[in-house]
């Protein structure tokens, strides 16, 4: 029997391991491969945009080293804080990143804080850097979600829509399976399947659309910060409804943290857009000759 099944699309996958291959006895997971691929492609994309706009690509190579370290710490810290009921009882697991537990929003917060500090110390424009990096961020998020697919996690509740996905019940974490899902188990030849929303797919496809919009906007932007504000708005708008479908939400009480943060970010991104647009009436967009001057002064 297939391990994964999209019954309404007629797609069956007989076997899907979270391990891609093994090196010297150490398993290399697909999740890590997708994150690594996202980083590599994101760096190349940012370097290309830096060259196109007359910036110094070395600025971004230097920044990304710091940003990756802080983003990983932030992603783990966010997850641990909002899963403290578990980690307070198992403190030895706090640093066990290979067992899972990285939150995208924690990584974003870490990356943004790093960019703010870095741009200040290096006397660069934060908004120019943010506009340059925004498509790289959403590209990495789009690819990273496919790691959830291989891990058989980050899915939603029961559905019978076109994209309904079935996992073998024995292959998923019991804590992710809600009573609603259990009430709609599908048994085929003695094998129990859960049938759920493939939220990883929803978010990946949403991120792809945002990514395309940002690439177009980079070449048509009217002011610094426009691409960054659009990224926050687009990503949060998708996340606020997709997060509501998931069964593995990080919560404070009964409030899903990432969903609430997404709602706040939608409002904040609109305010940010207006602020940057008004600022542009005084300070023109930093591109072409202005960016070249910045490069020479580095």
* pLDDT tens track for 235-263: 999 999 999 999 988 888 788 898 999 99
Residue 280 CA: distances (Å) to CA of 98, 131, 185, 226: 44, 14, 56, 10
For residue 297, give both structure tokens: 């002064």
Candidate from 6-15, 84-93, 141-150 with smallest mean pLDDT: 84-93
pLDDT of residue 169: 95
For strand 11-13 and strand 26-29, is the pairing parallel, antiparallel, or unpaired? unpaired
Show the tokens assigned to 277.
């647009």
Q: Tell me which of 34-38, 78-82, 84-88, 97-101 is least confident.
A: 97-101
Say whether 145 counts as a known binding-site residue: yes
Q: What is the mean pLDDT of residues 113-125?
A: 95
Distance CA 60, CA 146 (A): 26
Mean pLDDT for 219-238 is 96
Q: How high does pLDDT run on average in the chain?
A: 90
Q: Does pLDDT of 290 surpass 80?
A: no
Q: Percent of the chain beyond pLDDT 90?
A: 74
Whether 92 shows a pLDDT value over 50: the answer reads yes
Would you tell me how many other CB atoms lie within 10 Å of the CB of residue 295?
16
Model confidence band, residue 147 (pLDDT cutoffs 50, 70, 90): very high
Where does residue 65 rank: exposed (0-12), middle (13-18), buried (19+ CB within 10 A)? exposed
| CB-CB contact of 137 with 108 (8 Å) | yes
Helix ranges (H only) for the chain are 30-52, 57-81, 84-87, 104-121, 126-151, 179-183, 199-218, 226-242, 257-280, 289-297
pLDDT at 296 over 50: no
pLDDT at 25: 84
pTM for the whole structure:
0.89
The reported pLDDT for the residue numbered 288 is: 47
User: Higher pLDDT residue, 39 or 251?
Assistant: 39
Range of the domain at 248: 4-297
Residue with tokens 């009882």: 89
pLDDT, tens digit, for every residue of 7-20? 999 999 998 899 99
> How much is the pLDDT for 219?
94
Domain total for the chain?
Answer: 1
Q: Residue 284's pLDDT is what?
A: 58
Q: Which residues contact 41 (CB under 8 A, 6 or more apart)?
A: 136, 139, 140, 143
pLDDT the model gives residue 295: 42
User: Residue 279's closest CA among 219, 229, 214, 215?
Assistant: 229
Residue 204, token pair as written in the block: 């990946």
Pick 118 or 296 by higher pLDDT: 118
Residue 289 above 50 pLDDT? no
User: Which is nearest to 176 in space by CA: 140, 160, 141, 200?
Assistant: 200
């Amino acid at each position: 029997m297939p391990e994964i099944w999209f019954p309404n699309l007629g797609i069956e996958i007989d076997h899907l391991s979270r391990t891609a291959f093994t090196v010297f006895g150490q398993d290399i997971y697909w999740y890590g491969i997708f994150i690594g691929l996202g980083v590599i492609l994101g760096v190349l994309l940012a370097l290309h945009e830096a060259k196109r706009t007359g910036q110094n690509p070395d600025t971004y190579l230097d920044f990304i080293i710091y940003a990756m370290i802080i983003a990983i710490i932030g992603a783990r810290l966010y997850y641990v804080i909002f899963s403290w009921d578990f980690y307070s009882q198992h403190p030895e697991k706090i640093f066990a990143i290979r067992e899972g537990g990285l939150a995208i929003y924690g990584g974003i917060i870490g990356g943004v804080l790093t960019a703010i500090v870095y741009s200040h110390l290096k006397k660069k424009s934060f908004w120019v850097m943010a506009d340059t990096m925004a498509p790289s961020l959403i590209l990495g998020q789009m690819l990273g979600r496919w790691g959830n697919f291989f891990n058989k996690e980050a899915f939603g509740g029961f559905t019978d829509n076109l994209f309904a996905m079935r996992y073998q019940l024995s292959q998923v974490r019991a804590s992710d399976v809600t009573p609603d899902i259990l009430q709609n188990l599908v048994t085929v030849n003695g094998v129990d399947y859960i049938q759920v929303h493939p939220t990883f797919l929803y978010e990946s496809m949403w991120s792809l659309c945002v990514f395309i919009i940002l690439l177009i906007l980079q070449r048509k932007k009217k002011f610094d910060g426009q691409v960054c504000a659009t990224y926050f708005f687009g990503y949060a708008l998708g996340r606020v409804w997709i997060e509501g479908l998931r069964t593995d939400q990080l919560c404070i009480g009964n409030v899903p943290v990432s969903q609430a943060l997404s709602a706040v970010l939608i409002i904040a991104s609109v305010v940010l857009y207006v602020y940057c647009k008004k600022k542009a009436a005084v300070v023109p967009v930093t591109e072409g000759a202005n960016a070249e001057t910045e490069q020479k002064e580095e």
